[in-house]
Structure 1
Amino acid sequence: MELLLETVALYSLKLAYETEGHSPILRDDPLMGGCDREVFGLLVRRGDVAGIQGEISRCLDLALGAVGGVDTVLGRELRRLAEDLGAVRTMGKLYAPAVTLKDYLRDVL
């Protein structure tokens, strides 16, 4: 789960900040800030669904800006997927919407 959440965050930040012709954003990049596997691991072990949603939401907000906001087709779909993740109330339900977000972000990149 930690790797999946880190990947969602990484793809979001890549979408927001990575530009063609420049060094790619990697998992150990300072831009990742609090969105690394260790932070997500701690949140997962604590069962802190709200904390996980907060970290992912912060990254998704950046990605949403990168695709032109909620007035674009990509933005509307990203917002819908983010809302699906935000509606989850238990750790057991986080996996499916996180996978969907990861796949969507990967496809947009």
Structure 2
Amino acid sequence: MELLLETVALFCLKLAYETEDSSPILRDDLVMSEYEREVFGLLVRRGDVEGIRTKVSECLRLALNAVGGVDTVLGRELHRLAAEFAHSQTIEQLDAPLISLKEYLKEIQ
């Protein structure tokens, strides 16, 4: 789960901050420090669903702004997927929405 959370955060931050003329954002970049696997791992071990949702939601807001907000086709779908994620109540319920988010963010990179 930690890798999946980190991947979703990475794809969001890539959308928000990566430009064509810059080097790609990688997992070990400073911008990823609050969203790295170990940070998510601690939240998962604690069963802190709210903490996980908060961290991922921060990244999703950045990605949503990067695609032009909810008034765009990409933004509407991202908002829909983010809402599904936000309604998860347990660690187990996070899996399916996270996989959907990861796949969608990967596609729109």
TM-score, reference length from structure 1? 0.98
Aligned to 2:86: 86
Distance in 1, Cα, partners of 2:32 & 2:64: 17
Partner amino acid, structure 1, of 2:20: E
CA RMSD of aligned residues (A): 0.5
Q: Does 1:15 align with 2:15?
A: yes
Offset of 1:21 from its aligned partner?
2.3
Aligned to 2:29: 29
After superposition, residues 54-93 of structure 1 pair within 5 angstroms as: 54-93=54-93
Partner amino acid, structure 2, of 1:8: V
Partner amino acid, structure 1, of 2:42: L
Distance in 2, Cα, partners of 1:17 & 1:54: 20
Q: Percent identity?
A: 65
Distance in 1, Cα, partners of 2:59 & 2:94: 16
Aligned to 1:98: 98
Distance in 2, Cα, partners of 1:93 & 1:60: 18
Distance in 2, Cα, partners of 1:30 & 1:52: 19
Aligned to 1:4: 4
Structure 2 residue runs of 5 or longer lacking an equivalent are none
- 4+ residue runs over 3 A deviation: none
Distance in 1, Cα, partners of 2:84 & 2:33: 24
Distance in 2, Cα, partners of 1:33 & 1:77: 27
Partner amino acid, structure 1, of 2:107: D
Distance in 1, Cα, partners of 2:16 & 2:24: 12
Equivalent pairs, count: 109
Offset of 1:40 from its aligned partner?
0.2
